[in-house]
């Protein structure tokens, strides 16, 4: 399985459908292809859906709908994969802090599997990619300059002419959509953190509301996190020999197990001095996690959707 070779089908569809997706496609002086889904281009929900599938290396499918949370109605994204370890941890996880000079972005997508960012996660899932092309998704408000393009290509050990870069700001429709599209990735990462072997996970499906866009980046960041923390639901099929241990893992997984739970994330982040390292890492999880053990037939559930905090998050202007 090569996430970087497989994802080219999705990337080329985006390029072919650029007008309908309201995205811009340009070639840099280094030869890389940059897809703008919200910096200068308008972007949209459909672009966000494509970006979600791109993040998963083309080994997952996303769809859009509208969901109700009490009397609150929001657009929602549902994500499915039968290759969870590789698609979610090997590709989608935003594990590459692209920091070069004055430029900074959170990097995710298949390119990570070439650069091995972070290496220890690839050791856990026993995977690394080999390809002469790379695709990276950057959550950033500006497009990367030439030196950043060259840096990413070097880290992936490819020619910059074979690099595809998709940029979607947090304060954009496409950006907000693809962040909610990380619902099962966020859940699996937390499950692994609290003790589950990622290779035991067979398939996953999840749904999360999509945050209405806010033009101020910190507010947008708070809203997009809250959609997963307080409105996201993730379901997994696993093959496990120990139901008692699996039940303990599931109980530790939802966002409600965090000391920072119960307030909009923007408030939590503010009180942490806008330092992510001072935020309790246990908060980064879905509201509800459900796991089915296919070996025993046992079914474990933990957490709950918190409509009150969702409303508080959206009422902050």
> Using one digit for the tens of pLDDT, what is the confidence trace for 199-223?
999 999 999 999 999 999 889 999 9
Q: Could you tell me which residues are beta bridge partners of residue 69?
A: 72
Q: Which residues contact 66 (CB under 8 A, 6 or more apart)?
A: 73, 74, 75, 76
pLDDT number for residue 277:
75
pLDDT number for residue 92:
98
Pair 258, 280: CB distance under 8 Å: yes
Q: What is the mean pLDDT of residues 19-40?
A: 97
Q: What is the mean pLDDT of residues 11-31?
A: 97
| Gyration radius of the chain's alpha carbons | 18
Q: What is the mean pLDDT of residues 158-167?
A: 98
DSSP 211: P
Quick: pLDDT tens for 85-94.
999 999 999 9
Tokens of 243: 């139901």
Which domain, by its residues, includes 202? 3-315
Burial label for 92, CB within 10 Å (0-12, 13-18, 19+), is buried
Task: Specify the number of domains making up the chain.
Answer: 1
pLDDT band at 274 (very low <50, low <70, confident <90, very high): confident
pLDDT at residue 136 tops 70: yes
pLDDT number for residue 317:
62
Please state, for a pLDDT cut of 70, what percent of the chain lies above it.
100
pLDDT at residue 275 tops 90: no
Q: What is the mean pLDDT of residues 98-125?
A: 94
Tokens of 245: 């241990």
pLDDT number for residue 179:
98
pLDDT at residue 159 tops 90: yes
Peptide bond into 67 cis (omega under 30): no
pLDDT number for residue 83:
97
Dihedral sign for Cα 240, 246, 247, 250, please: negative
Burial label for 168, CB within 10 Å (0-12, 13-18, 19+), is buried
Question: Residue 257 belongs to a domain with what CATH number?
Answer: 3.30.1030.10
Could you tell me which of 76, 75, 79, 78 has the C-alpha nearest to residue 92? 79
pLDDT number for residue 294:
98
pLDDT at residue 232 tops 90: yes
Tokens of 91: 């590709």
The pLDDT mean for the chain works out to 96
State the Cα torsion 29-30-32-37 to the nearest 10°: -50
Could you tell me which of 136, 126, 154 has the C-alpha nearest to residue 97? 136
Phi-psi region of 13 (alpha: psi -120 to 50; beta: other; left: phi over 0): alpha
Range list of β-strands (E), 129-287? 134-139, 163-167, 201-209, 233-238
Q: What is the mean pLDDT of residues 104-124?
A: 96
pLDDT number for residue 134:
98
pLDDT band at 313 (very low <50, low <70, confident <90, very high): very high
């Amino acid at each position: 399985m090569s996430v970087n070779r497989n994802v080219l089908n999705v990337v080329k569809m985006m390029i072919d459908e650029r007008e309908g997706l309201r995205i811009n496609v340009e070639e840099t002086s280094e030869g890389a292809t940059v897809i703008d889904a919200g910096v200068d281009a308008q972007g949209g929900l459909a672009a966000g859906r494509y970006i979600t599938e791109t993040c998963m290396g083309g080994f997952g499918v996303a769809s859009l709908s509208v969901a109700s949370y009490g009397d609150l109605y929001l657009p929602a994204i549902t994500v499915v994969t039968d290759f969870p370890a590789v698609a979610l941890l090997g590709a989608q996880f935003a594990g590459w802090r692209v920091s070069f000079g004055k430029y900074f972005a959170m990097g995710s997508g298949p390119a990570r599997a070439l650069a091995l960012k972070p290496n220890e996660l690839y050791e856990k899932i026993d995977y690394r990619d080999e390809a002469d092309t790379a695709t990276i998704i950057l959550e950033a408000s500006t497009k990367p300059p030439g030196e950043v393009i060259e840096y990413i290509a070097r880290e992936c050990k490819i020619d910059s002419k074979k690099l595809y870069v998709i940029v979607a700001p947090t304060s954009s429709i496409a950006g907000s959509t693809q962040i909610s599209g990380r619902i099962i990735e966020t859940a699996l990462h937390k499950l692994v953190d609290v003790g589950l072997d990622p290779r035991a996970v067979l398939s996953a499906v999840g749904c999360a509301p999509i945050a209405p866009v806010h033009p101020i980046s910190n507010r947008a960041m708070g809203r997009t996190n809250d959609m997963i923390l307080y409105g996201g639901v993730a379901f997994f099929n696993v093959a496990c020999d120990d139901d008692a241990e699996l039940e303990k893992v599931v109980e530790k997984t939802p966002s409600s197990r965090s000391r920072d739970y119960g307030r909009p994330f923007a408030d939590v982040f503010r009180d942490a001095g806008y330092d992510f390292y001072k935020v309790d890492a246990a908060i980064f999880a879905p509201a509800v996690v459900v796991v089915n053990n296919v070996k025993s037939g046992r079914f474990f559930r933990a957490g709950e959707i918190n409509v009150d905090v969702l409303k508080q998050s959206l009422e902050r202007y």
